[in-house]
Structure 1
Amino acid sequence: MTTTRAVSIKTLPGSIWPWLVQMGDRRGGLYSYDILDRAFGILSGPSAGRILPEFQGLAAGDVIPLGKGPDWPVRILDAERAMVLEPVSGRVSWCFALYPEGDHTRLVSRVRIRIYTKVVLWILAPLVDACWFVMERRMLKGIRQRAEKPRK
């Protein structure tokens, strides 16, 4: 199963990238519905409203920490272009890609889940995707809101 979602952001990749690399618990957050992320134990505090310099050194091989659940290993990091996470090795990957288009950028989020049984694919996948859609859409909009905000 593959999902692809995107938003256009009225800025260049260099203003979006810092928000991506600081994601995680006790870091920048996930920019989604903080109340739900906190209720499920994924985050211990609200998402950041500013760039946090201390979390800008993310590299391939690092992990994006979460509260409950597995941390997200960073498999590929191509500065200001792409970040690929692999929350479940060999089964789930999540790519954030930045595509500049003139004075704005497309932030594309692509999730790939390898499901081996048709029963799970046909019954469980739509339920998981519906929840994922709500949270991921808010995340993309949260990143857009932050990246378009003038820095002080």
Structure 2
Amino acid sequence: MEFYRGRVRPWMYTWGARDEEIAAALPGDELVDPHTPTSTRAVTIDAPVEAVWPWLAQIGEDRGGFYSYSLLERAFRADVHNAGAVHPEWQDVHVGDTVWLARRYGDEARQVVAAVKPKSHLVLVSPDDFERLQRGEKAAGTWSFHLHRESGWTRLLVRGSGGAMGHAAFDIPHFVMEQKMMRGIRRRAQQLRSDDTAAFARSLGAQRAMAPNMA
């Protein structure tokens, strides 16, 4: 247990993140007590923010899924179908919207959008916490996603605060699913960028092929 607390848990809580990212104040932090246990994980995505945000905007069991391990998602009896394309009808996200984790379990498996700014961040809380926030109280926990530009690249940060954090029975499976989700978003965003680049190259090639005939 000491090895887990001293080595494994700190590694899971900061997977992929830089020291300055771990220490950074992010949107949504103000919604919880400052002493709440926190994890900050990160990946670099070889694509601009505009290619990453659509995948975040459409997360949810009844929408684009969570881009994680389908077998494990189904083991938890979640009806998740991880999207391989951006769906325009799922792109409008507003405070108060529901993001389902697993509808069959009711409110215990539902998140509510507490804050959102397109191409910047998405902050989720439990239904009970959303009600607390409406009363001017602090939330017990948050789950938030943040996009930071780095030249033509993007840093995706995922911060978890409070809730069931600190319990191995939650921390380990959550880490396994979340890091796969982050890598799933990265793969999709980079593929989208690659497809766009290929389409542009084909269009440019067609224009050049036509140029002699137009002279």
TM range (shorter): 0.7 to 0.9
By how many angstroms is 1:127 displaced? 3.2
Unaligned runs of 5+ in 2: 1-36, 130-138, 197-215
Corresponding position of 1:148 = 190
Corresponding position of 2:110 = 71
Corresponding residue pairs, total: 144
Conservation of the 8 A alpha-carbon contact between 2:67 and 2:185: yes
Q: Say yes or no: does 1:41 pair with 2:77.
A: yes
Task: Give the structure-2-normalised TM-score.
Answer: 0.63
Task: Give the structure-1-normalised TM-score.
Answer: 0.87
Q: Which structure shows the bigger proportion of residues in strand conformation?
A: 1
RMSD: 1.8
Corresponding position of 1:25 = 61
Q: Say yes or no: does 1:110 pair with 2:144.
A: no
Q: Say yes or no: does 1:59 pair with 2:94.
A: yes
Aligned equivalents of 2:66 and 2:80: distance in 1? 10
What SS class does the counterpart of residue 149 from structure 1 fall into? Answer: helix
Unaligned runs of 5+ in 1: none
Cα deviation digits, residues 54-80 of structure 1 (max 9, x gap): 111111111112323421100000110
Percent of aligned positions with the same letter in both sequences?
A: 36
Corresponding position of 2:146 = 97
Query: For 2:125, which of 83, 86, 90 is the aligned residue?
Result: 86
Cα deviation digits, residues 114-151 of structure 1 (max 9, x gap): 57xxxx94xxx233211111110000000000000034
Aligned equivalents of 1:94 and 1:141: distance in 2? 17
CA pair 75-147 structure 1, distance change in 2 beyond 3 A? same
Corresponding position of 2:48 = 12
Aligned equivalents of 1:34 and 1:57: distance in 2? 25
Q: Which structure shows the bigger proportion of residues in helix conformation?
A: 2
Conservation of the 8 A alpha-carbon contact between 2:39 and 2:160: yes
Aligned equivalents of 2:53 and 2:159: distance in 1? 16
Structure with greater contact order relative to length (CA < 8 Å, sep ≥ 6) = 1
**Comparing 5-14 with 65-74, which one deviates more in the overlay?**
65-74
Cα deviation digits, residues 21-78 of structure 1 (max 9, x gap): 1001121000011111122123x14200000111111111111123234211000001
* Bigger CA radius of gyration: 2
Aligned equivalents of 1:101 and 1:36: distance in 2? 33
Cα deviation digits, residues 83-139 of structure 1 (max 9, x gap): 000036122201100000111010000000157xxxx94xxx233211111110000
Aligned equivalents of 1:91 and 1:75: distance in 2? 13
